[in-house]
Chains A and B, each alone.
Chain A
Amino acid sequence: MHQAALLGGMIRDAPHYGWGVTQAPHSWATLADAVQNHVKSLNWGHRVQLQDRKVKYFNVKASFVDTHTVCGVSKGGEETLLSAEHIVIATGGRPRYPTHIEGALEYGITSDDLFWLKESPGKTLVVGASYVALECAGLLTGLGLDTTVMIRSVPLRAFDQQMASLVTEHMAGHGTRILRGCAPEKVEKLPGQQLRVTWVDLTSDRKDAGTFDTVLWAIGRVPETASLNLEKAGVHTNPVTGKILVDAQETTSVPHIYAIGDVAEGRPELTPTAIMAGRLLAQRLSGRTSDLMDYSSVPTTVFTPLEYGCVGLSEEAAVARHGEEHVEVYHAFYKPLEFTVPQRDASQCYIKMVCLREPPQLVLGLHFLGPNAGEVIQGFALGIKCGASYQQLMRTVGIHPTCAEEVAKLRISKRSGLDPTVTGC
């Protein structure tokens, strides 16, 4: 869906590059169909893969009976008891609904529903400041829908905050309405199909209201642990987050029960981390390796309209860990070549490399805001894993003309106070 939104931008660019196309309306139904077909083919593919590898697949809801036994309940209510030597919990998380807001559960939807809507969500209010919230709001705006994001405090908490504010600044500049410091109070259904949302501005305490077709909650995710009867197996969870406590081996409080992915406490909620953790766990259980999953320096990308890719520490975290006087930040505002012809605004295209100050200036974190951020960051993440220093990265010759080459050309430190705008070619 992000790609569909990007294509919308490309259609806007196309006339500048000589293509005789006028701005087109977007059909939600066509997109939803295409996306759902692909997702279904993926689901099917997973089933085929399990079959190929002789993994038995049960479409049942499981809960613990004792430390070695689970009970599975099918849709029809049939129960199956299954026992195993090792048990892995990988039930993930589901979007959370607010509990004290009238009408929230009744009239709102979550990201679980959004991608399966048959009809366009229309004018949408997205509540939340997580990457899910910003990604959804960004793609809905990109598809031409009137979209508002309501953020209680800061966007993209735990991400670098300078980058986070550039991300929202870009979204605001491209048509997403952003309500900062606001919290919803109630959702009511109007006589038509529309929803009336009342919220409060937390700084002024003033109340305000608006009408939307859809309200999307993206205020966080809850781990799927409540219905597992974990207490019967003696598996401990964090009482606050509900997540399962694990050690470096992914082992829970019960030695032969493990937890991986979003359900495990303190793990990044990312697909590739879960995949790798699962694979390594299987290899350890079968005695093929003793390697542990390394959760440090995990690269990630937020697929907002202007993508934000990062790896390693945020500037705040680096300063907190090493002290401001030991941290050097190199940065640049750059303009992607492709932006020039359609005269796209590049004010938020920004790169920041957070390094130790002492030579050879070990790289602690890299943050990239711009097109194809995911592709750009991947390779650099490897470099950082190799213990790259600023000096080494600066010896890398750029690939011209790309956005990624700007990373290898970062010369201006924040400390110098010089203008970090890249000029020329």
Chain B
Amino acid sequence: MGRKPFLPEYWLARWQTCLNNGRGSGEGARGVPLSGHVGFDSMPDQLVNKSVNHGFCFNILCVGETGLGKSTLMDTLFNTKFEGEPTQHNQPGVQLKSNTYELQESNVRLKLTVVNTVGFGDQINKEDSYKSIVEFIDTQFEAYLQEELKIKRTLHSYHDTRIHACLYFIAPTGHSLKSLDLVTMKKLDSKVNIIPIIAKSDAISKSELTKFKIKITSELVSNGVQIYQFPTDDETVAEINSTMNGHLPFAVVGSTEEVKIGNKMVRARQYPWGTVQVENENHCDFVKLREMLIRVNMEDLREQTHTRHYELYRRCKLEEMGFKDTDPDSKPFSLQETYEAKRNEFMGELQKKEEEMRQMFVQRVKEKEAELKEAEKELHEKFDRLKKLHQDEKKKLEDKKKSLDDELNGFKQKKTAAELLQAQTQQAGSSATLKKDKERKK
């Protein structure tokens, strides 16, 4: 890829278009001719140097059922053996395992992170399979958003973990997409650049493959799944990208084993009936995938992730939190106003909560007080009743006592009267006897 233009007219035409399109930075600027070489045409080089010094970073997510050759494909793509044991089929849920590697090719350093979905498609009930994937992607967006919102932030040295490309592995059934595939891709297409690939495509014959690709593409379209399109807006790569767009989904074969073909060692899979050469474009689309994913569009994948997927996430998140760009009168908010408004709202909320709690307590206290007062009142009433009862009893007793006393008195009187009578009688009797005795004596 040449850096200096071959055709000045070509570039001139581009400038005209650019001017006519009136791009943001060129607005309001008048064009002035230069009478010599100033030297700012080195700007792209300066930028590139900076990027190279800084190093690049790229994150790939591989989604697909266990056993579709995800790890092998990564090894083949990046010409190296990444760590990891092949997974079993007995995972309870879908987990995401990520590994970061520092690679170098010529003077370019790449921090590559490969994220694998472990256990995808293995469960009996796969309804929630996509959830952990979506969560993972969102977590990376969230981490970036948090960094971006910090007061003291270090964005230029931040290790970007956002997923730039999602390779979706389709099982080589030859018929159509599984419903799990459609559901998952539909959930992911607004969050990540999806590149669907047919895995282990050496199991499909050429004619079946064409039909399979057509079926897949039509199913994706009819279900409204947005897969990543290689960009065609840059003339330098428009042609190759649009051709490749027509070959999607890529049918790939991965292999880390080498077989001798002619006098070269090539990566291949050896069968009794022949050898599938990974890098032979007649055998599979591996080379196309590598060209598109790495050599031509890696930077675009990163850019799309940042300017489209991440922005969408950010916008939704901020709107969720109640941020708006304009106030009710459609005047734009300044950042300060936005934060201040948010803060006031927030403080108001907290105050309200506090008040509510206090009120609730006051209410409870009141209620309890009333309860206890009731109980007290009841107690007093009870004792008043008892007191009254007691008083009655006492009165009865008093009456009885009185009557007894009366009787006693009566009896005493009677007794006294009787005794008096008796005494009188006796006296009379004794005097009568005395008289008699006296008479007798005479």
A binds B: no
Binding site for A on B (CB under 8 A): none
Binding site for B on A (CB under 8 A): none
